[in-house]
Structure 1
Amino acid sequence: MNKLVVVAVIALFSLGKSYAQETEQVKDSIVVVKDMIKEQEELKQIEQAKVEAAAAKAEQKAAAKEQKQLAKEQKKAEKEQKKIEKEAKTKAKEAQKQEKLKSAIASKNQDIQKCEDKIAKYEMKLAEGQRKGKLSPVAIDKLNDKIAKEQINILKESEKLRKLERKQ
């Protein structure tokens, strides 16, 4: 009987220990599961924070890129505006130059006409003086010299006029 008691006590202790260990393991597994759940939640929060940070960073990059694009477009618009202003200035200068050229051509035509009028006046004086016989040979030479001088002026002015017309 002693032997039976010893075996029973050993069996009880060994069974009791195994039950006790199992309850500890259950408690430990619950704690472990809770810890795992907490870790998973923390990982989810960390992952969510990473995603949010990445989204914020991407948003900042997009905003910076958009800002650069706007600055680029603004510079391009300013450059285009300057180009338009420069073209307008060039056109205004060209118009002014053409106007000046027209004025110079009109002036040369006027000068040529004046010279022709003087020649006609001198020729009339010469013809009238010769008809009446009032002109001396020296006066006739002077009038002929004046006529020749005016004809040279006409040639010079005509050459200048041709040059101006070529520019036009």
Structure 2
Amino acid sequence: MRHTWADAHPLLSEYYDNEWQIESHDDTYLFEMLVLEGMQAGLSWLTILKRREGMRKALHYFNYEKIALYDESDFERLMHDDAMIKNLLKVRSIITNAKAFIEVRKTFGSFDKYIWSFTDNNPIVTYYEHESDIPTDNELSQKISKDLKKRGFKFVGPVIIYGYLGAIGIIQDKLK
């Protein structure tokens, strides 16, 4: 059964049908979704999807290697870019997280190997009677959030990480 939020707007439908809860192992996509989920904090997912293409351009298509090298002028450029969410801490976190992302890649060989290791490379599929039964975080998102924070990541609280894990297909919440 389809989640009701997916029919609220064509961008949400497209995301639901082509990306959400589909397993991803591509590090660039994994970084993009981590950034977008962090940017969403306190906002709607639709707001993020409407700005996504502009953010892609502003952030060198989520090239974490380039973003990790951003300096203060790049930060200022992002803060004045209309595509970006103009939150100082969120924008700074993108640069911080790019650096931490690279460190995880050095340690594990890829971010993919790191993030999927928490579930032994298997998605967690759960079926719910009602959409309202789906949690906003769980033990896994709490564990990963804690580990990411320890590694220097920002805007990676358990609720953000729960959304992230759904976005990349590790958590697959289905309706009966």
Give the structure with the higher percent helix: 1
TM-score, normalising length from structure 1? 0.21
Larger RCO (alpha carbons 8 Å, 6+ apart): 2
Higher strand share: 2
TM-score normalised over the length of structure 2: 0.21
